[in-house]
Amino acid sequence: MTTKQRLLQICNERVDKRINDYKEEINLIKESIESTDKGNSEGDDSGSGKLLNDLEKNMSYLNDAKKTKEYLSNIKTNVESKEAMLGNIVKTNVMNFYIASSIGKIELDNDVFYAISVNSPIGQLLINKPVNTSFEFNQNKHVITEII
């Protein structure tokens, strides 16, 4: 398995975990709402109102995670390019990036990669740039040394 395939697999695993965590949280909140409704005959909605708010937030997070999963399914690991694009590993003199989705830090084979979105600020600086392009980000001067 190539490094790009392994990075994509890790991204998918992390998103799957997020999806499962949100589903579990939603189920817990639903159970709490049901038990609050059964035990609450005076019409005091303060507890269930917060629970409904939490339910709504978690359902939104779950929806976002599902969209990320769908987005990741569009990444092709066998495409080569001379310019940084979705699915590429972009190495700079400062750090390594994997252009996929905003997953964060991934440690793999004694290397550190940062899975970033095309739409993130750093993603916008990288996208469509070839090797030897330089740019500044967070007061660091980066030079693209390799695109895989």
Tokens of 49: 């109102």
Q: Is 95 found in the same domain as 65?
A: no
Give the count of domains, the chain: 2
Q: Is 19 found in the same domain as 50?
A: yes
pLDDT of amino acid 18? 97
Give 85-127 as a DSSP string: -TT-EEEESS-EEEESSS-EEEEETTEEEEEE-TTSHHHHHHT
Separation between Cα atoms, residue 97 and residue 21, nearest integer Å: 26
pLDDT of amino acid 1? 93
pLDDT of amino acid 43? 53
pLDDT by 10s per residue, the chain, length 148: 999 999 999 999 999 999 999 999 999 999 998 887 776 655 555 678 899 999 999 999 999 999 999 999 999 999 889 999 999 999 999 999 999 999 999 999 999 999 999 999 999 999 999 999 999 999 999 999 999 9
pLDDT of amino acid 35? 87
Q: Is 27 among the domain residues?
A: yes
Q: Is 77 among the domain residues?
A: no
Q: Is 82 among the domain residues?
A: no
pLDDT of amino acid 104? 96
pLDDT of amino acid 39? 67
pLDDT of amino acid 80? 87
Residue range of the domain that includes 104 = 89-147
CB 108 within 8 A of CB 6: yes
Q: Is 60 found in the same domain as 95?
A: no
Separation between Cα atoms, residue 94 and residue 79, nearest integer Å: 24
